[in-house]
Amino acid sequence: MKLHRPANRHLALAAILLVLPFIIDALFGHGWVRIADFALLYIMLALGLNIVVGYAGLLDLGYIAFFAVGAYTYALLGSPQFGLHWPMWVTLPLGAIIACIFGVLLGAPTLKLRGDYLAIVTLGFGEIIRIFLNNLNAPVNITNGPQGISGIDALQVGGFSFGESHQWLGVRVDDVHLHYYLFLAFTLLVIFVSRRLEDSRIGRAWVAIREDEVAASAMGINTRNIKLLAFAMGATFGGISGGLFAGFQGFVSPESFSLMESIMILCMVVLGGMGNIGGVVLGGVLLVALPELFRHAAGPVQQMLLGKVVVDPESLRMLMFGLALILVMLWRPAGLWPSTQRRRELNTEEGA
Amino acid sequence: MNLLEVKDLKVTYGGIQSLKGISLTIAQGELVTLIGSNGAGKTTTLKALAGLLHPASGKVNYQQQSLLQIPAHQRVASGISLVPEGRGIFARLTVEENLLMGAYVRSDKAETATDLERQYVLFPRLAERRSQLAGTLSGGEQQMVAMSRALMSHPTLLMLDEPSMGLAPLMVEKIFETIRDISAQGVTILLVEQNAKLALEAAQRGYVLESGAITLSGAASELLGSDAVQRAYLGA
């Protein structure tokens, strides 16, 4: 697998990523391409949360709220709900900007909080957003409450819609494939921005704040702005992912933005390897793919071995997920693919 | 020309006045020490000067300009650097990463690299341990990291908070030797110490702080010889 020339490696990776949806389609069927699309959305979310949790060390348990803000912005401005049908190149950036503003709104009052205290406040924030979305159908109907918003416009650039199949040179390319490429492009953008941030002055400031906030300010780091920036950047990525989600699904409801989702994304970051982009991507892929695999396999496997379905696949799925989490944390506490720094930190703690 | 002028500085901590109006001056290039017992307000003074605490009243002028409205991170950029009590190093970063973090306010990469080499000449011990995690170093070495990191920001005024705290006597000697070296290079130093004898031997002038007020001040050699200091701090 290890190709030595980095250029070759990148080329090989690009080729794999390009043909991947067709391979998945041929091997596992259409539904799995859809799952790959979701995996990309989750990877974007996980990378956004990675900035807040992995880089700046601020534990955020309400991250899904920014995803919700992006999704509802897109949904409200591109659906029959208000009869608005704004184009994607307006609603998507607008969703990102509004999510960014919400990020600062969450960040500003919590500047002095750390660790568990911050976690509690962010958890509350996530719930507040969800409950608002659930209840903003009266007295004036804005979000359509628990029924959610349906009939959302498909993602569309110019006259080109990602929501329908296209024929090119006799090859039929389905909407799930098209979404895959669109999401892949956005994911690569998010990865690129994350990498640049990591290597920048801002990235170093985040490390300093994560390690020791007082010492960081003694270094001349404007801790307030740098923390707000972490929240804002993380939220922006969440907002973009949310807008794409709304356009992809064609339907949003508050149900999709529960606390469990925030925790899932946090798990992707922690399980994959906090602070390491590769690890976070790996975490996202695994936590989207494995539960799906279980959903499909748990029933038939029981049928085959025991002759009947003993445990409901759905509950088994959560059970296995919990077990996997515990095992990983026991054997690889820094995550499956940790950043060099995190690995070093944990090693010294063991050694000390 | 005074680099720093503090006039009637008062700091209140949760209703208790921990600084009851202190005044002091530091001239460019001087090594001044502030001595006093536990709880006298030494650390409070340094924190107020670094901008980590907000004084209730009083004046702080640095290079003839008021510092009061300047936030902590901008004070570092204007040349005021604090080595906090207990050193405050980034324990889980390497020695080199710590030092580079000290140069955060400086943007010239080539100059930072030269500075780094200069630090390794000043502290050869750190050069040997550059890729080691700072938290795994001995107390004295950690103090070196903290001082060296502060120097990376090219301070005009270096403030040291109890650099000898918790160190072995031999290491204390070494740290004080380094303080003299830094002073000889022209950096103005405000040294806060409990170890009055060593501090007064190194400094040119000194202030004695007792329960939030300055009770004595003068040339270090005079203070060292004075009965009051002898009695209170040197156990004579």
User: Residue A1 — very low, low, confident or very high, per pLDDT cuts 50/70/90?
Assistant: very low
pLDDT of residue B67: 92
**For B12-31, how does the pLDDT look when each residue is reduced to its tens digit (9 = 90+)?**
987 888 899 999 999 999 99
A226 Rama class: left (phi>0) / alpha (psi -120 to 50) / beta: alpha
pLDDT of residue A222: 93
Closest chain B residue to the Cα of A346, Cα to Cα: B92
Give whole-number Cα distances, B227 to A229, B38, B205, B219, B236, in Å.
56, 20, 17, 14, 9
Rounded to an integer, the average pLDDT of B198-217 is: 92
Supply the angle between the helices A277-306 and A313-331 in degrees, to the nearest 10.
130
From B226's Cα to the closest Cα of chain A, the distance in A is: 36
Is 80 exceeded by the pLDDT of residue A342? no
CB atoms within 10 A of CB A300: 11
Indicate the pairing of strand B31-35 with strand B205-210. parallel
Using only C-alpha atoms, what is the Rg of chain B? 17
Rounded to an integer, the average pLDDT of B181-185 is: 92
pLDDT of residue A350: 44
Indicate the pairing of strand A160-161 with strand A166-168. unpaired
- Do B52 and A219 count as a contact with CB atoms less than 8 A apart? no
Pick among B80, B83, B99, B104 to test the A interface (most A CBs inside 10 A): B104
Contacts of A154 by beta carbon, 8 Å cutoff, 6+ apart? A161, A162, A163, A164, A175, A247, A250
From A94's Cα to the closest Cα of chain B, the distance in A is: 33
pLDDT of residue A151: 94
pLDDT of residue B234: 66
Percent of chain A with pLDDT over 70: 96
Are A191 and A45 contacting, i.e. CB atoms less than 8 angstroms apart? Answer: no
- Do B104 and A222 count as a contact with CB atoms less than 8 A apart? no
Among candidates A222, A223, A348 on the partner chain, residue whose Cβ is nearest the Cβ of B135: A348
Residue B141 phi, psi dihedral angles, 5° rounding: -65, -35
ipTM associated with this complex: 0.83
| Terminal C-alpha separation, chain A | 36
Locate the domains of chain A by residue range: 6-351
Give whole-number Cα distances, B80 to A140, A149, B64, B70, B122, in Å.
56, 56, 14, 11, 21
- DSSP H helical ranges for B51-194: 72-77, 95-102, 109-122, 124-128, 139-151, 169-184
State chain B's mean pLDDT as an integer: 90
Assign 3-class secondary structure to B122-152. HCHHHHHCCCCEHHHCCHHHHHHHHHHHHHC
Strand-by-strand arrangement of the B16-27 sheet: B16-27, B2-13, B57-62, B65-66
CB atoms within 10 A of CB B59: 14
**For B65-93, how does the pLDDT look when each residue is reduced to its tens digit (9 = 90+)?**
999 999 988 999 999 999 988 878 998 88
**For A106-115, how does the pLDDT look when each residue is reduced to its tens digit (9 = 90+)?**
999 998 888 8
**For A204-235, how does the pLDDT look when each residue is reduced to its tens digit (9 = 90+)?**
999 999 998 888 988 999 999 999 999 999 99
Are A106 and A167 contacting, i.e. CB atoms less than 8 angstroms apart? Answer: no
More confident residue, A190 or B226: A190
Rounded to an integer, the average pLDDT of A294-317 is: 80
**For A178-213, how does the pLDDT look when each residue is reduced to its tens digit (9 = 90+)?**
999 999 999 999 999 999 999 899 999 999 999 988
Rounded to an integer, the average pLDDT of B138-152 is: 92
Is 80 exceeded by the pLDDT of residue B120? yes
**For A113-166, how does the pLDDT look when each residue is reduced to its tens digit (9 = 90+)?**
888 899 999 999 999 999 999 999 988 899 999 999 999 999 988 888 888 888
Rounded to an integer, the average pLDDT of A255-271 is: 93
Task: Please state the pTM of the whole predicted model.
Answer: 0.87
Please give the structure tokens belonging to residue B35.
């001595």
* Burial track A235-267 (b if 16+ CB lie within 10 A, e otherwise): bbbbbbbbbbbbbbbbebbbebbeeebbebbbb
Is 60 exceeded by the pLDDT of residue A352? no
Q: Cα separation of B35 and B191, whole Å? A: 8
Centroid of chain to Cα A295: 21
- Do A207 and B50 count as a contact with CB atoms less than 8 A apart? no
- Do B88 and A212 count as a contact with CB atoms less than 8 A apart? yes
pLDDT of residue A345: 66
Locate the domains of chain B by residue range: 2-79+155-233, 92-154
Residue A167 phi, psi dihedral angles, 5° rounding: -110, 120
Using only C-alpha atoms, what is the Rg of chain A? 21
Put simply, whether A341 touches B (Cβ < 8 Å) is yes
Are A186 and A162 contacting, i.e. CB atoms less than 8 angstroms apart? Answer: no
Please give the structure tokens belonging to residue A251.
């339907």
Is 90 exceeded by the pLDDT of residue A174? no
Residue by residue, DSSP assigns A244-308 as HHHHHHSEE-GGGG-HHHHHHHHHHHHHH-TT-HHHHHHHHHHHHHHHHHHHHHHHHHHHHHHSS
Q: Cα separation of A330 and B120, whole Å? A: 40
- Do A219 and B50 count as a contact with CB atoms less than 8 A apart? no
Rounded to an integer, the average pLDDT of B59-67 is: 93
Among candidates B76, B82, B90 on the partner chain, residue whose Cβ is nearest the Cβ of A212: B90
Is 70 exceeded by the pLDDT of residue A264? yes
Are B5 and B61 contacting, i.e. CB atoms less than 8 angstroms apart? Answer: yes
From B232's Cα to the closest Cα of chain A, the distance in A is: 32
Is 70 exceeded by the pLDDT of residue A348? no
CATH architecture of A6-351: Orthogonal Bundle (1.10)
Topology annotation, domain B2-79+155-233: Rossmann fold (3.40.50)
pLDDT of residue A115: 83
Q: Which residue has the tokens 């001044």?
A: B32
Among candidates A214, A223, A345 on the partner chain, residue whose Cβ is nearest the Cβ of B84: A214
